Structure 1
């Protein structure tokens, strides 16, 4: 059912130039209801807080960008922590630190995938300001928030808006008539914009681009693995843009049987066991699998290749924050 709803929304939001007439009044009500969180909050955090978010419902490549920024800052000796709402999990009201043995039904798949990929401390909480406090108490020098542009309770010092270059902003309408959680005017307030390539949507050329590139193969446990043999595979993707994942596997010489799941959808183990295999999943999908269900299951890892301009902007922000 969720997948059917997502397909319907995708058709309404991204394949029609004008939003459905019946949904336009609801978009107006949504805008009025969320008016208090349409502007950037003014509160100043005690340490640099970098929010990596987007304006649209659904994914845009935020999580790989968060992971790339964590690795960049950590390599420069900065103690980095990550905070998240923990979408898809229990979304606790008090900060919960993610461990490698945690389950996605508790922490959410993205938070667990970030921790397993980077080893950085990650806290999930419905109130991200409380998660920030937990990170500060632990001694983090910088905190990166996975999503949160619309979470006005979280003070922040730097905002990065990530845009999916394939889908852009769709029909440009607010939910539910369109994919926007905030109006496009919100872009004027962010510190940086980043577009995930390839770019198909009509977006300004001035927005810098980034790519997701393959970074190796692994097991659900996180252990490295040799790649599956070239040929027919079952590709399983419960992410916002599964077609990009399938296309990347095709470019590597595989012939994927495409299994599209809803974003964050739980993976049925009995269904998975019945696939011919070998099976390839994304890192986010792997976070929703508890243990190795079969020996021919592989995780295709990717990483964000960030433009030098953004990397230097973030470095400069962190330096300047402590000298103001």
Structure 2
């Protein structure tokens, strides 16, 4: 599903019309939170989540966080629900055995950095991970899941688009109110370029005192690939494909066509054959994201390039200090 454009406009007739449904959504969410009794893990749980629907950089944040935790001497395990995967879990992801159909795309990426478990029931996943040696749990998404007690929370937000029109679903992109969540969050991590960060700070400065604000940017990994002047047909099925297209442009690629697909798009032979024909007609190379590449059928992988990216933190000091206090306390 692609985000409706009216979510990112200040006020529209559509969003106003949906306000009664939004109020019902809010009421049902509050009732769900009240009736659930959260499970408290034996080891600290760090949750990486977002307030809005769509891609905000949770997976790159999870990757750099577990890398940092390992460098600090900890044994993090990642818990994911395995979005669109068939496995109920708890199941430890093995990249040599499991497929996207079974566990989803993100867990296959995360499993290359730390032990990763898919579990529709996240408390069961946490219990198994602790038995298997985890001394800290990193919860990939699940901020709005009231069944798990979080010792530490990081909210990720796309600095370019922020929190949209400020309305809850379906009138806007918010899963819950901004102010109440930020008051109970350790860090708000805005992700984007310097220009986008400045815009974000200016727009939300009245809210940034409710949680510690830190900044980061998603940057391509240096692989030795020379993108300059390469004619490409870029396609992506992620939350915000424009970021991917901008990254390719900044690397010097000549983008002759772009295709924005649904988030977590299933790539069948029909879709990919059509893209291959179009790329041939345009004398262009097919390029996609690292996450999309995981979902490609094996026979298409050799002819499609992918662009791996990682999160670059502006300053680790504040976050690392807070995590050390949590884990050593």
Q: TM-score, normalised by structure 1?
A: 0.87
Instruction: Give yes or no for the alignment of 1:97 onto 2:92.
Output: yes
**Correspondences of 1:280-319 after superposition (within 5 Å):** 280-308=287-315, 311-319=316-324
The alignment partner of 1:169 has SS state of: coil
**Alpha-carbon separation, structure 2, partners of 1:81 and 1:248:** 30
Deviation for aligned residue 1:320: 3.0
Further displaced range: 60-69 or 70-79 = 70-79
Q: Distance in 1 between matches of 2:32 and 2:188?
A: 19
Aligned residue in 1 for 2:239:
240
Structure 1 unaligned regions, length at least 5: 218-224
Q: Tell me, in whole angstroms, the C-alpha distance in 2 between the residues paired with 1:109 and 1:15.
A: 31
Work out which of the residue numbers 161, 165, 182 in structure 2 matches 1:167: 161
**Structure 1 position 226, deviation (Å):** 4.2
Q: Figure out how many residues of one structure are paired with residues of the other and give that number.
A: 306
Q: Out of 272-281 and 297-306, give the one that drifted further.
A: 272-281
Q: 1:43 to 1:321 in 2, by over 3 A?
A: farther
Change (3 A) 1:294 1:144: closer
Tell me how far 1:231 sits from its aligned partner: 1.9
Give the whole-Å Cα distance in 2 for the aligned partners of 1:103 and 1:227. Answer: 31
Task: Determine helix, strand or coil for the equivalent of 2:287.
Answer: strand
Partner of 1:221: none
Normalised TM-score (structure 2): 0.85
Q: Which residue of 2 aligns with 1:209?
A: 215
Q: Does the residue aligned with 2:108 lie in a helix, a strand or coil?
A: helix
1:266 corresponding residue in structure 2 = 266
Q: Alpha-carbon deviations, 1:132-160, whole Å to 9, x = none? A: 11110110111111111111111221000
Larger relative helix fraction? 2
Once the two structures are TM-superposed, the CA of residue 85 in structure 1 deviates from its matched residue by: 1.1
Structural mapping, 1:127-166, within 5 Å: 127-166=121-160
Tell me the equivalent position of 1:61: 57
Mapped partners of 1:98, 1:114: distance in 2 = 9
Which segment drifts farther, 275-284 or 128-137? 275-284
Q: Secondary structure at the match of 2:288?
A: strand
C-alpha RMSD of the superposition: 2.3
Higher mean alpha-carbon deviation, 208-217 vs 146-155, is at 208-217
- The change in CA–CA distance for 1:106 and 1:113 in structure 2 (over 3 A counts) is same
Larger mean Cα displacement after TM superposition, 160-169 or 98-107: 98-107
The 8 Å contact of residues 45 and 137 in structure 2, kept in 1 or not, is answered as yes
Query: CA shift at 1:230, angstroms?
Result: 3.3
> Which residue of the partner structure matches residue 222 of structure 1?
none
Q: Do the aligned partners of residues 294 and 193 (structure 1) sit closer, same or farther apart at CA in structure 2, a change above 3 Å counting?
A: closer
- Measured after TM superposition, the shift of residue 37 of structure 1 is 5.3
Q: Where in structure 2 are there 5+ consecutive unaligned residues? A: none
Deviations 1:162-190 (Å, cap 9, x if unpaired)? 11111111111111111111111211100
Match of 1:23 in 2: 18
> 1:318: Cα distance to partner?
4.2
Residue 220 (structure 1) aligns with: none
Secondary structure at the aligned position of 1:212 is classed as: strand
Provide closer, same or farther for how the CA distance between residues 227 and 123 of structure 1 changes in structure 2, counting only shifts above 3 A.
farther
Distance 1:227-1:96 versus aligned 2 partners, 3 A rule: farther
Residue 186 (structure 2) aligns with: 191
Shift of the alpha carbon at 1:75? 1.9
Contact 1:228–1:278, Cα closer than 8 Å, also in 2: no
